[in-house]
Chains A and B, each alone.
Chain A
């Protein structure tokens, strides 16, 4: 519903420690998110460079709910174009990956080069002096829609909006530091894909990875084996706007502490039959063993022990999103390190010993939230403001996210 001045006719209490539930189910909110967030001046993750290494390589990707194609042209440059023929709108690219000299729309065979330039139109001059395109029809006026594209250390981002700042300014120095920690310029090696459709609003995924509170309570696996727990040295940090964040922590041991008495999921006696699953090795500089980075508006960079993954969010309406997991390692990984990454992937994905809890909880959340649009969430752990903290007994990054969200959405 809109007011006569065009604003959404819904109320949101002042501040960002109360989140109204209509944000998670209202189609008008979803539409505005597509326009202002996913088509706004933001950098959306679309691909790793290692997925399209050779000239002519392409990959289908999605920003918000809009299909795009990421290509590497014959000069080695990265291009991101809308997956929509300039003629009649056909989604011309249906293969997830491939290598080609040109794209041809199957409907009327308009052909484009890998930069998105229209190269040919059948019957342009007509047939037997009949029909054809008007004399003033110009190929160069009918290219594929080109997006802004940028790459940093093997990670490709794109934007529908030409006003987007440089990626470095967009991330800010604090977030750039953590980004470069995983993406240090080494060649990346893709280990494979997982994908799941979660029937909840996309924002619940970001809230989940911006909320270290739940991890110490919900996830028996993390808590018991000390992979991520509130009594360990930890930090939560954000960029200046609050839109990006990291949760940083250091692995502890499977032993009781002052904190574990409040964690019902701590199991002092739980032993694995095959401990190979949890024998991580240190590979990054510094003390942190887990860094979960959330980058506005569609990316989670996962580094938990030796399992690394991009989690790309694809919105599918107000009450559904897809989570696209791309697991990777480095080109110079030893065979042993690759085995560790593959083994520890058991923690993550649609069957993850940890992440199952999250995908299930997001769907349960939507079941509760969706039918009660006028109720609100209480986000007060650690205060009512949004600032960096050197502990994880806080929901401050969730407040940071909604502080920025409110500004962008004009709500």
Chain B
């Protein structure tokens, strides 16, 4: 505890002078960086548009009600596509993530020196590129459509699933594996009876969790042409059909809420 003498009386301070000064200096540097960055952003902003924004917002909001309910009938197909993109993408990701996770986990990898870094690099590069960028890339390469969306979601999810899965594999209880090995089981049998049963609940949980995130992400993939409900959303925004935009946004929120509920239920049942 830091105590300072002032006019002969002891006064309590939270910190000694040194740490206090270090914290003050850190705040000063942080504030300076923030002001500098803000200045650069501010230079690139047309402030007339920003001051105008409340009016614009009120205007758009007024044009959005009431939602164009008749359009609902035409949204069935895009919604089905969105669901398929998320689900099939998750399936692809899981199929590819299992071997990657197996190679990345310290206790199951065939080779710590060679295979593990490769697996970790796959995980990192898949994770650091957003699904929308994957979609942008795939739309350019294989053309617009649902397939690009499925592959984008799949490629984005490999890293996420593999990372959580390899952490689960690293946390397994080694004594069970050893017990299976002691019965004379082969390498594949050790994996099947010693490792898999221990990570299966985590695996199912990760799958459902990622599926929930993928539903959320697949709603916007259509903005770059990769199918799903983002396509009509983009079309409605570019044609300024605000009543349709509000309807689609309501549908998206409903879908996200339902998928979150399903995923929470399933995870609750598993764990």
A binds B: no
Interface residues of chain A, those whose CB is within 8 Å of chain B, are none
Residue numbers of B with Cβ under 8 A of A are: none
